[in-house]
Structure formats: C-alpha cells, structure tokens
Amino acid sequence: MCRYILLLTLTLFLSCNDEKKEVVKATTPNILVIIADDAGWNDVGYNGAEIFTPNIDVLAKEGIQLNRFYVNPTCSPSRASFLTGRPASRIGIVAPISNRSEKSLPDSIVTLPQQLKKYQYQTALLGKWHLGLKPSSGPKKYGFDYSYGFLHGQIDQYSHEYKNGDPSWHKNGTFIFEEGHATDLIGAEVINWLTKHRDTTKSFFVQLAYSAPHFPLQETEAWKKPYVHTIKNSSRRDFAAAMSHMDNNIGKVLNKLDDLGLTENTIILFMSDNGAMESWFPSNQYKGRHAANDVLGSNTPLKDWKTSNYEGAIRVPAVLYWKGKLKPGISNNYISAIDMMPTILDLAGIDEIPALVEGRNIWPTLTGKDTLNSSIYVRGHLQESIIVKPWKLIRTRHLTSDTEYELYNIELDPEETNNVVKEQESLFSSLKVSLEDQFQLDDQNVNLDIQ
C-alpha cells in the first residue's frame, strides 16, 4: 500500500512538472528568414511572373512587400551583409566564396545569431551557408546551435556535391550522405527541427536557405508539367519548376508553423540573395553531367543580371510578414539587407546593437511612425554603387581603361536607360565623393582580383 501511494505521488509530481514545462512558452517573437537562391524580380507570382508561387504570394498579400529591398550582386556578400549588419565589402567579401577558398567571416565580428543567442534565442541554419567552405568555418562557429545543409554555393541537387566534386552536405559540421532532392531534404529538416529539436521555452531564429532556383536545375516532370503549354523555352521551364518546387516546400513549413500554433508569434522574412542569372554554360563543372541553360531567371523590367550593380542584380523580391502585427501593404522605403540585423534585434527586445553594425532599424518605417532615407552602398565584382533616394550612382572600374560613371533617377527611370551624369554635374560630384568615402572604409583585401 505504501509503495502504491509513493508511486502515485511520484507520478503526480512528474506529471505536474511536465505540465509546467509545457505551459512555459517563449514571449519574444520567433524569426524565420527564408532565402531563395538567384530568384529574380520577375520570378515570383506577386510581381507578375508566369511562375506559380502561391505560398510566397500569400505572404506578399498579407504582409508588407519591401518594394525597394537591396542586396549584393552575388550570394556570399548578401549573406554576409545580412548576418553582420554592415556592407560585406567591409570584411573583404565582394564575390562568391568559391573553389577551395579559405575566406570566411572574421572571428572579431558579432553576427546576428550570436547576438540573439546571448539573449536566449535558439538558432538554426537549414540549407545554404556559403560563408566558409570547411566545417571549421561553418555555421556553428558564427552562432548557429544547429545546422544542416551545404557549405558551398551551387551544389548538385541529388549528390549534394560542389561543382568541383568536393563534399558539401553536412549536419552540424559533419559531412553526411543522404538521398533526395536538396529542396525536399532542407524543407523536411526544418519541419523536423521545429517538431523535435526546438526548445519551446525559447524563441527561435531559423535561417531557411534553399538551393533553388539556382542551377543545376534537376526537377522532375511533375514540377515541369504545369508549364508545358505556357513556357516554350525548356531551360526557363526548368527554372520555373524549381521555383514552384521551393514554393510548395515553403507552404509545408508555413503549415507546420500553423499546426504548432507558432504563426502569430513568428516574424517571416522572405528574400532572394541577389537577382536572377541570365544563363549558365557549365563546361566541365560536375564532370560535364549537366546540360547548359540558355535562359534562367527574369529581372524584367529591371536592368541586367546577377554580378552587376544595376537594379536587376541588387533589387530583389522581399516580403516581411507578421500575422496580426503588420498591416498588409507595399513599402517603397529604400531598405538594405544590412538593415535587417538591427531591425530583428529590436523586434526581439534587444537594445544592445553590436558596435560595427551600420544598418538602421526599419520597423518604425513599416509601421508608419517614421521614414527612412539613408544612403545604401553596395560593392560588387567590378562595380560600386551608392543610392540616395531617388538617385543611384554606379562606378565601373577597369584594369586597363578609364573608370566609368553612370547616374540614374531610379524612380523615374527604373530601367536605368538614361545616364544623367553630364546633366547633373553638381549632384554627380557630391555622390562621387560619398561613394569614394564608403569605398575607403572597405577592407583592402577582397576576394576578387580587381581591388
């Protein structure tokens, strides 16, 4: 009898403790950042594309479309800018970290996940890292509790190897082999993390970084079939399939947030890391097993492609969504990827902004309490630009010829067809000084030949 009473008492005690543990929930908002790889301005449905992206479109319809959201011309710099709150050129990253480069984020800089962890956030990166190609310079080193996906840039969607054959697919810094398409594996792991690894007593910061729609394009007929009669070019059809595949996967993640009762307390940012690439001719990449793509994404009506500093490369589709907290609409404020770190920290209730952060908190502008007119500096492969509403100055340097300058009113001339350098001499001179001042703040050693 005594043993029975003791057992009953112990059972009730443990049960009560379990119940208490279940009711302790995070009070600060969760953050989910969804990053598409090489999705152009005209590759999402809500911008008029012929591609079906219903889940992204819902976020755009019910959230705020960041109509002038600026990133870098390529992937590694955009991700570095986002995670550090400062132009990636300050730390010498102006191009993709590629081949067997040793380049990575410096140890001295405080990243967004590191700062969030300091204030009891749980952090995870699922998918593309591309800020250090070895496990020793992977996500864990820079503040992510949990990481899964690939360390490099472009990978084969099924073998998950880098273009030169190097291994890239990992879990928490250990290389692993798994079967399946990268889009499916990444999305499934996010859902797995949310249901099995998430600490319900802590808020979370999850960076969900897909490989899609980046080449090589390896989609099944099921994803291509909806475009058989609407997209004639087979390469563009494959690209559309990759976008739809990713969008469908995003929908599954959003549904899981609903199932877990997390939607109302989760801020969702969707963005592309840079504009679309025009085409791809792989030569001997992946040992020659992938065919060329003569047509990939679309930046229409914006000018040019990934790697340049024209609008098509650095102005990308982006949406911020927080159910019940943000009124749906379109923001025409000029916003940079570096602004997201101080904004997210503010929304997390964190006043301590790391000293080197240059971005600005955009939340007041999105809620109608303020306007944002700060300049945006972007350094890419061979060009630098500075944007001061409504003007944009682009400088193109050459190794063996004179430097070129272009000045555009990007509100009146979003396609950047009318260079007004000669007509706006005073403005040009002022912006030229501002651009050079920014350039001098950059690291003198960058990961590209021309400096």
Measure the CA–CA gap between 240 and 219, rounded to whole angstroms.
Answer: 10
Q: Find out whether 335 and 64 touch, Cβ atoms under 8 Å.
A: no
**Chain centroid, CA 13 distance in Å:** 46
Query: How far, in Å, are 34, 36, 347 from residue 255 at the CA level?
Result: 15, 19, 23
What number of H helices and E strands is found in the chain? 11, 14
Measure the CA–CA gap between 274 and 317, rounded to whole angstroms.
Answer: 9
Alpha helix locations (H) across 85-175?
A: 112-118
Measure the CA–CA gap between 40 and 377, rounded to whole angstroms.
Answer: 20
Answer left, alpha or beta for residue 99, where phi above 0 means left and psi between -120 and 50 means alpha.
left
Measure the CA–CA gap between 118 and 105, rounded to whole angstroms.
Answer: 19
Query: How far, in Å, are 45, 69, 303, 313 from residue 42 at the CA level?
Result: 8, 14, 12, 12
Sign of CA dihedral 409, 411, 414, 418: negative
DSSP letter at 20?
H
Catalytic (active-site) positions: 75, 130
Measure the CA–CA gap between 121 and 119, rounded to whole angstroms.
Answer: 6
- Name which of 434, 338, 331 is nearest 391 in CA terms: 434
Measure the CA–CA gap between 389 and 373, rounded to whole angstroms.
Answer: 7
Total residue length of the chain: 451
Pairing of strands 146-150, 169-171: antiparallel
**Chain centroid, CA 23 distance in Å:** 33
What burial class does residue 189 get, using C-beta atoms within 10 Å of its C-beta: 0-12 exposed, 13-18 middle, 19+ buried? buried
Tell me the three state secondary structure of residue 150: strand
The two three-digit tokens of residue 387, written as one number:
């944007």
Q: Find out whether 434 and 420 touch, Cβ atoms under 8 Å.
A: no
Task: Say whether the peptide bond before residue 167 is cis (omega within 30 degrees of 0).
Answer: no
Measure the CA–CA gap between 333 and 373, rounded to whole angstroms.
Answer: 7
